[in-house]
Amino acid sequence: MLAIYLKEIRSFLSSLIAYVVMLVFLLATGLFTWVLPDYNIFDYGYANLDTLFSMAPWLFMFLISAITMRSLSEEKKNGTIEIITTRPITDLQIILGKYFAGITIVLFTLIPTFIYYVTIYKLGAPEGNLDSGAILGSYLGLFFLASCFVAIGMLSSSLSDNQIVSFILSLFLCFLFYNLFDLIADFKLLGSLDALVASLGINAHYQSISRGVVDSRDLLYFLGFDIIFIWASKTVFESRKW
């Protein structure tokens, strides 16, 4: 698995994809957080990073889909999947190696945004007047959300050998699991079941953990979500043997 992981990291960093993804994410979040009217911190008037954490999931839908669309589809299209599978490595290790490589690229993208936290800390009146627990919880929630999107992207990439198809499918599924359940619950059609429907979506658990309180139910949701989609990716990947 380590060999696959390192291969994917080298592949990302030797191409423009990873750098473009990082640059677009940092540029977009920077504009929303510091520059654009009605969104930036100075107009908002409070020392927090709510703008970053509200915009990041929507940006991640596009950027993580772009990162993961080539993970398995490119291997299948180029015929290199047969070469990889002849090595002494299981299908699950291949999937996990590529999955953790995708998460690593996401972490590389998130780390530079810590400068936003330092800046807000210095700008607070008095200095340090901000809810650090909520901000760190939001970063943790954003990491778990990104892990779900990477898992979705892996499944989408395993379903097609066309990268564009994989990208569109990943984008659709990310939107569905992030926002659709909240939209359904907002119609208030199911009475007491509305809260249950909302809890099936990623956003409810992301918002919960972003409050700075790490609830075991949220952790189990994210872990279970990742496991289900990784297992589904493995099942689809193994179907080539049928």
| Mean pLDDT for all residues in the chain | 84
How does DSSP assign 135-146, residue by residue? Answer: HHHHHHHHHHHH
State in Å, rounded, how far the first CA of the chain is from the last one.
Answer: 23
* pLDDT category of residue 29 using cuts at 50, 70 and 90: confident
Give me the phi and psi of 19, to 5 degrees please: -70, -40
Q: Which helix (H) or strand (E) holds 222?
A: helix 216-238
State pLDDT tens for residues 77-126: 666 666 666 667 788 888 999 999 999 989 988 999 988 888 887 776 67
> Exposure of 130 by Cβ count < 10 A (0-12 exposed, 13-18 middle, 19+ buried)?
middle
Predicted pLDDT at 172: 94
Q: Which helix (H) or strand (E) holds 211?
A: none
Q: How far apart (Å, rounded) are the C-alpha atoms in residues 82 and 105?
A: 25
Q: How far apart (Å, rounded) are the C-alpha atoms in residues 117 and 129?
A: 12
Enter the DSSP assignment of 131. -
Distance, C-alpha 72 to centroid of its chain: 18
User: Could you give the maximum distance between any two Cα atoms of the chain, in Å?
Assistant: 65
Q: Please tell me the chain's helix, strand, coil percentages from 3-state DSSP, rounded to the nearest 5.
A: 80, 0, 20
Across the range 213-219, mean pLDDT stands at: 85
Predicted pLDDT at 47: 64
pTM for the full model? Answer: 0.90
Predicted pLDDT at 92: 86
